[in-house]
Amino acid sequence: AHYNLGVTLDRSKPGKALGSDEYRKALQLNPKDVNSLVNLAVNLGDQESAEARKLLEKALQLDPKNPEAHLNLGLLQRNAREHKSAVASFERAIELNPKALEPRRQLVSILVLDERWDEASKQCEQILSQAPEDPDIRYTYGQTLIRQGLTVEGREELQKSQASRQKRQRSEEIDKLVSQGVSSLKKGDIQNSLERLNEALAKDASHATAHMYSGLALASKG
């Protein structure tokens, strides 16, 4: 119960570490609760890196195959500029959960810093096979190809990155309009709601949520 309350508090305001006290209570009751150890370490982060490391090391003693513990230990190691150890932690996290993208993204960041272009390029390819619209990784991939002497291919990837970034920005703009339309509808401002939703549909006529709330707004209008 304490662990789940901690998770709920963390999700209510991401980045505020509101669940830390609950994870500590959970660990008082069950010192071998791996999930509480990992989540508390994540909340402590670099601000209390020594304690965070101890928590993650204990979690890995209890569960050596916990990919989240390896990932977060790698983050602490990377931020402390312990690149060799961080690479090993990220690679272990990937080995345990090959489909997870975050360990690969973090690994790429170190490989680029260390100018290990060939390895970085391979990791980018793995990420893009699952997330082809990721503009940041696509951009990094283009840079690694250029560094390897594949200038034409690299520039093509940079162009794809720009296109993906523009597509993401457009999607965010549409979602913002829909959110404004829904908010206005809940406040009873039907006209403003329809204006925002119609603006969203003018940009993307296939946006199902915008159509649904347009229908609700029209129904409210009679």
The whole-number pLDDT of residue 129 equals 96
Three-state SS sequence of the chain: CHHHHHHHHHHHCCCCCCCHHHHHHHHHHCCCCHHHHHHHHHHHHHHHHHHHHHHHHHHHHHCCCCHHHHHHHHHHHHHCCCHHHHHHHHHHHHHHCCCCCHHHHHHHHHHHHCCCHHHHHHHHHHHHHHCCCCHHHHHHHHHHHHHCCCHHHHHHHHHHHHHHHHHHHHHHHHHHHHHHHHHHHHCCCHHHHHHHHHHHHHHCCCCHHHHHHHHHHHHHHC
- The model's pTM: 0.81
Does the pLDDT value for residue 138 go beyond 90? yes
Share of the chain above pLDDT 90, in %: 97
Give pLDDT tens digits for 86-118. 999 999 999 999 999 999 999 999 999 999 999
Q: Which pLDDT band, with edges at 50, 70 and 90, does 25 fall under?
A: very high
Give pLDDT tens digits for 207-221. 999 999 999 999 998
Does the pLDDT value for residue 9 go beyond 90? yes
Share of the chain above pLDDT 70, in %: 100
